[in-house]
């Protein structure tokens, strides 16, 4: 876009005060090239930012205190003070204080997101234990955002250049996973995944692979019955609803043989089934995207990293990619909405694409 003020305002929640989040935020935003793409707003306090800035003496990091959330400074790093009081910071320690102020940051950022003062939100990592309170009883960002924005369902979608992996069940005990694998639940996630791939990633006819729950995808019912009773019927019904879903596939062979490369996304049945191969193959730049929200939210694919917090050892690649992805999705959503408000333009694009394809085929013959 030609006007700096047209660039999206991206909010960044600070995460656990004693975790890796603020260090990574400073490292990421110290690259001024990001200011050519967006206007960043950090939801924290200038005192906390200054604490971590001192632990990174080699980085030149300057910011503006933002008093009016509706008027961020373009081409500047903005810090919106969510609190004014002094806070005890102990890097690497799991404390109630770290969780309490992580929630303050998140709640302030989501209010701004709902009000339209920021266009996208990137969340630094929180710890699920110390954020718990009567006012915040969620197992993580994803269920909180689902509740805050009042949507029926969301999809935790892990994204990298070479793959996208969605989760049927998220942060639940392994003993509860099988009960969560139902035809209805799978179908709902597949609908969300298809809609997100079209609207957020610009894929008109996405192909989706569905993993089995049991070893060898159940071996035709010899090792568990979920594939025969729940997953296969869900895949069949998805196809009847114009969703290009395939499976169930045996999870180990599917990733080991690179079969994921043939699909636009993969639906895994539970957390570790999807995240272990994703994090192993995503080359450090994987991110977490919450599909199904009316707003755009991304986050890095790692946790608070208390073991290296405050030691200047954190790698900001995933946080940086989270910002890039939020920006990309905002533009893609705008393009998607514009195409559907102007169907003649969309038809002309399709005709042009078909003509290009025919030209390629003629050249190859």
The pLDDT of residue 350? 54
What CA–CA distance (Å, rounded) separates 97 from 357? 58
The pLDDT of residue 102? 97
| E strand map for the chain | 9-13, 39-44, 64-66, 78-81, 120-123, 155-160, 163-167, 207-211, 244-249, 265-268, 287-291, 296-300
Of 43, 39, 42, give the one whose Cα is nearest residue 74: 39
**HEC readout, 101-139:** HHHHHHHHHHHHHHHCCCCEEEECCCCCCCCCECCECCC
The single-letter DSSP state of residue 72 is P
39-44 sheet: strands from edge to edge: 64-66, 78-81, 39-44, 9-13, 120-123, 296-300, 287-291, 155-160, 163-167, 265-268, 207-211, 244-249
Q: For the chain, how far is it from start to end, CA to CA, in angstroms? A: 40
Could you give the 3-state DSSP secondary structure of residue 155? strand
Global pTM value: 0.89
What is the mean pLDDT for each group of 10 consecutive residues in the chain (365 residues)? 68 97 97 95 96 93 95 96 95 96 97 97 96 90 95 96 93 94 97 97 97 90 92 97 97 93 97 94 88 97 94 94 97 92 61 50 38
Instruction: Give the relative orientation of helices 183-199 and 232-240 as an angle to the nearest 10 degrees.
Output: 50
Residues in the chain: 365
The domain 153-281 is placed in CATH, from the list 3.40.718.10, 2.60.120.680, 1.10.443.10, 2.120.10.30, at: 3.40.718.10
CB count within 10 Å of CB 275 equals: 20
Same fold, 1-151+293-365 and 153-281: yes
The domain 1-151+293-365 is placed in CATH, from the list 3.30.1280.10, 3.50.50.60, 3.40.50.300, 3.40.718.10, at: 3.40.718.10
Q: In what helix (H) or strand (E) does residue 3 lie, and over which residues does it extend?
A: none
Could you give the 3-state DSSP secondary structure of residue 209? strand
Domain residue ranges in the chain: 1-151+293-365, 153-281
State residue 260 phi and psi, 5-degree precision: -60, -25
Query: 282 and 160 in contact (C-beta within 8 Å)?
Result: yes
């Amino acid at each position: 876009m030609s006007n700096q003020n047209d660039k999206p305002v991206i909010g960044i929640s600070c995460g656990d005060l004693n975790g890796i989040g603020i260090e990574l935020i400073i490292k990421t935003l110290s690259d001024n090239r990001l200011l050519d793409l967006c206007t960043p707003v950090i939801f924290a306090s200038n005192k906390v930012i200054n604490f971590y800035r001192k632990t990174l003496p080699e980085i030149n990091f300057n910011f503006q205190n933002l008093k009016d959330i509706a008027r961020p400074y373009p081409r500047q790093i903005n810090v919106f003070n969510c609190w004014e009081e002094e806070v005890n910071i102990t890097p690497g320690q799991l404390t109630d204080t770290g969780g309490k102020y992580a929630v303050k940051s998140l709640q302030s950022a989501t209010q701004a997101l709902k009000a339209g003062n920021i266009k996208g939100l990137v969340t630094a990592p929180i710890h699920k234990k110390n954020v718990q309170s009567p006012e915040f009883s969620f197992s993580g960002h994803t269920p909180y955002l689902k509740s805050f924005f009042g949507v029926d369902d969301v999809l935790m979608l892990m994204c990298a250049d070479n793959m996208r992996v969605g989760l049927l069940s998220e942060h639940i005990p392994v003993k509860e996973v099988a009960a969560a694998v139902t035809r209805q639940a799978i179908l709902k996630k597949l609908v969300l995944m298809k809609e997100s791939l079209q609207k957020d990633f610009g894929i008109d006819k996405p192909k989706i692979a569905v993993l089995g729950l049991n070893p060898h995808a159940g071996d035709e019912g010899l090792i568990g019955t979920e594939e025969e009773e729940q997953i296969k019927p869900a895949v069949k019904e998805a196809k009847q609803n114009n969703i290009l879903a395939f499976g169930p596939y045996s999870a180990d062979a599917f990733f080991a043989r690179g079969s994921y490369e043939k699909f636009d996304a993969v639906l895994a049945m539970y957390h570790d089934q999807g995240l272990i191969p994703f994090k192993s193959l995503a080359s450090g730049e994987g991110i977490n995207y919450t599909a199904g929200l009316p707003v755009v939210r991304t986050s890095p694919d790692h946790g608070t990293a208390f073991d290296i917090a405050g030691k200047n050892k954190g790698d900001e690649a995933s946080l940086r990619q989270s910002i890039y992805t939020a920006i990309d999705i905002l533009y893609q959503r705008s393009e998607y909405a514009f195409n559907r408000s102007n169907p003649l333009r969309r038809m002309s694009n399709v005709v042009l694409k078909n003509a290009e394809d025919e030209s390629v085929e003629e050249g190859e013959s």
